[in-house]
Amino acid sequence: MVVEALTEVIAPEGVKARLVATRSSDITLPHAEKTDGRIVPLKHPAESKVDFGAEVYGIDLNQLTDADFELISDALHRHKVLIFKEQPEMLKPQQQYLLTANFDPDETTGGFAHGADPFLTSHNGVNIYGIQSRPALPVQPQVHILGRGEVPEDHYQFPPGFKVKGIDHHEFHLPPHIPKEEREKGASRFYQWHWDGALYNIPPPRVGCLLAVRTPKGPDVTVRWDDGTETEMKIPPGATAYVAGSRALELLDEETRHIAFHSRIEYAPHAFKWMSTAHSARLGHILETEGLELPREKLPPIDESKICIYPMVWTNPKTGEKSLQVHGQGAVKLYLKSSPDGEEKIVDDLKEVRDFMHKIMRPAISPENIYAHPHQEQDVVLWYNRALWHSITEFPESYGPRIMHQCNIAASDHPSG
């Protein structure tokens, strides 16, 4: 699985892994008295229930100042997704890291949000770390390449013809899968609904940042729910789909909403290694309960103190808005309460856990609640990772490569509600 679809990297025994270089002690932005930035809220179709997202004009992210960042930070917490338009040139990896790191000045290591990257390959004396679906840029190892297909020529010290391995729901979703001939005609799926985070030990990032380097070219694809509802949605190829946790919370019935406000979720240690042998539901929001997860004895060593137990509802620190922030595939135990002083019910049967996760997640994953962002080359997308769920989507290989630069950084704190 790629980072947009969430991964945990564990270097095989005997394989060198590099911890991301320690963050520079100085991430101070150049000072400016004012910004020329303009925030323009997105206009969604009349039938849409989406109420987030904005475009940003007038800010060159390669020349980012403290005044620019103040505007960006306030806008991001209010709009949740920002799309930076009219960038004069591609965002440099160092500047992408600088933008991302400034959202968490208390974070001191600058560590990649999913742990150490193993050695991948070398070219012209330069070592490249990561995995084939998510290699790191040597010039800024917190920035990774995602997508599918061949990277541009002379791309940041990568060898000629280097190809990024893309997602394939055949490798992860419950059969039956979409036949190849239908996929080449534009049939697609949401791969995995999630927020970025390791789910074990490492605090989830506050923000995520994507630069579109190369985007697929072709007609819209048709995303299939394939959950018996016959629901479909047309979206641009290679789009990143977003759902607001606030909308997910709003859609719960009153009783379930009370439970969500006072309950917690325990996530599997080494969650992505654990689920690597299991099947996702075809909608990409939970795992199927087939007993296929890796048993504990086949996982890396587990430190019980590093197991993550998070509240179901997280609070936006600037707006106070509440969001249902849950990861259905990584959940292994529920601590359910309907009031602050109510009796806590522990649910550790995986089938029951997943039934509950489906109950609280499925209402939000409907076309009217989804914003599928159409990436345009050189645009930058910044999202507030602690208030949104997102998923990547498949597209025909004939549409060409999708090459993205993603930066996310482990936060200085775990979510506390």
Cα gap 284→322, rounded to integer Å: 24
**Residue 197 pLDDT class (50, 70, 90 cuts):** very high
Nearest 5°: the CA angle 406, 408, 412 is 175
Q: What is the mean pLDDT of the segment spanning 202-225?
A: 97
- pLDDT value at residue 106: 87
Q: What is the mean pLDDT of the segment spanning 355-362?
A: 98
What pLDDT digit, counting tens, does each position of 111-155 carry?
766 667 889 999 999 999 999 999 999 999 999 999 999 999 999
Nearest 5°: the CA angle 391, 111, 402 is 35
Please give the residue that has the higher pLDDT: either 180 or 106: 180
* Straight-line distance from the first to the last Cα atom of the chain, in angstroms, rounded to the nearest whole number: 28
pLDDT at residue 187 greater than cutoff 90:
yes
Q: What is the mean pLDDT of the segment spanning 288-309?
A: 97
Q: Mean pLDDT over all residues of the chain?
A: 93
- pLDDT value at residue 107: 79
Contacts of 305 (CB under 8 A, 6+ apart): none
What pLDDT digit, counting tens, does each position of 26-83 carry?
578 999 999 999 999 999 999 999 999 999 999 999 999 999 999 999 999 999 999 9
Write the CA distances from 174 to 181, 210, 290, integer angstroms.
19, 29, 10
The share of the chain scoring above pLDDT 70, in percent, equals 92
How far is CA 171 from its chain centroid?
Answer: 19
What pLDDT digit, counting tens, does each position of 17-28 carry?
554 544 444 578
* pTM for the full predicted model: 0.94
What pLDDT digit, counting tens, does each position of 336-348 carry?
999 999 999 999 9
**Residue 5 pLDDT class (50, 70, 90 cuts):** very low
Cα gap 223→237, rounded to integer Å: 10
pLDDT at residue 2 greater than cutoff 50:
no
